[in-house]
Amino acid sequence: MAVTTLPIKPGEKEVYSTALRIYSWTPTTFIKREVPPERRQKNQRGEYIVDPFVKELFQIEAAALRLLPQTKIKVPKLVDSGLDENGLAFIETELWGGIPGSRVKEECRMPDRGKHVDAGECTLCEEKAWANAEIYITNVVLPELAKLRSKTMGLDGKVVPPPWVRYHENRPTWVPKTSDTDRYVFCNWDIGAHNMMFEYGTLEVIGVYDWENAGYYPPEFQFVNRTRQEFDAQFEDIPKVRRLIALLDT
């Protein structure tokens, strides 16, 4: 297999990667890229891990970041998005200073005179950040999303349902439905502290990132992802999955 040379922007440095994404920084921007074929990982069955909707998800996130600045929800500014010269999807946003929610508890984030612990993980900081996230979700994110309505399902012409729906209903495409009324509400089924940035010292919410899992859908699609256990439980809630599929087909 030929090796794909990833396009590099001035000052770009890869920070980490997953089975489906590569994440990098420049001095002023954050870049998320689709993993090229030769870097794809295999699952326990020896099959390559792929997401057939990866390009649509990047497109959805870019569309969401163009839309959400009209709300009170703080989101990173979209700098660039699309397909690179290798045909791989990417999205570039402004680089936020702060602490990602997934890393808050790695050490105490309070000023020196107010530190909870001298070294090691700090669960008190995590609890504080999670409490601030819950307030922001309840008072800002959900009310603002509820104001965004559409007569057409999906976003930017794309419908990519939650992973628990796609796990049980493996369709190659999902057709956007339309309505005579604006009954579709802007939803995000991966809202949570893990997708928020927090201020150093105060752990106040800076804003919300990662908007791949979004679009206009029936209100039942809205989901706050508070814990991994709650997220995983969605895959086992077969009655709910069936209801969501029925709503997608209505």
What is the reported pTM?
0.92
How crowded is residue 238: how many other Cβ atoms within 10 Å of its Cβ? Answer: 10
> Cα–Cα distance between 104 and 122 in angstroms, integer?
8
Average pLDDT over residues 192-203: 96
pLDDT tens string 23-39: 999 999 999 999 998 89
Q: Buried b / exposed e across 182-203, counting CB within 10 Å, b at 16+? A: eebbbbbbbbbbbbbbbeeeeb
> Cα–Cα distance between 219 and 184 in angstroms, integer?
7
Whole-number mean pLDDT of the chain? 94
* Sequence-distant (≥ 6) Cβ neighbours of residue 219 within 8 angstroms: 146, 185, 187
Q: Is 98 left (phi over 0), alpha (psi -120 to 50) or beta?
A: left
Average pLDDT over residues 62-80: 98
Q: How many CA atoms lie less than 13 Å away from 212 in the CB half-sphere?
A: 19
* Pairwise pLDDT comparison (236 vs 37), residue with the higher score: 236
Question: Looking only at Cα atoms, what is the longest distance across the chain?
Answer: 59
To the nearest 10°, the Cα dihedral for 97, 103, 106, 108? 50
pLDDT grade for 118, boundaries at 50, 70 and 90: confident
pLDDT tens string 209-235: 999 999 999 999 999 999 999 999 999
Query: Vertex 209, ends 31 and 107: CA angle to 5°?
Result: 90
> Cα–Cα distance between 222 and 145 in angstroms, integer?
10
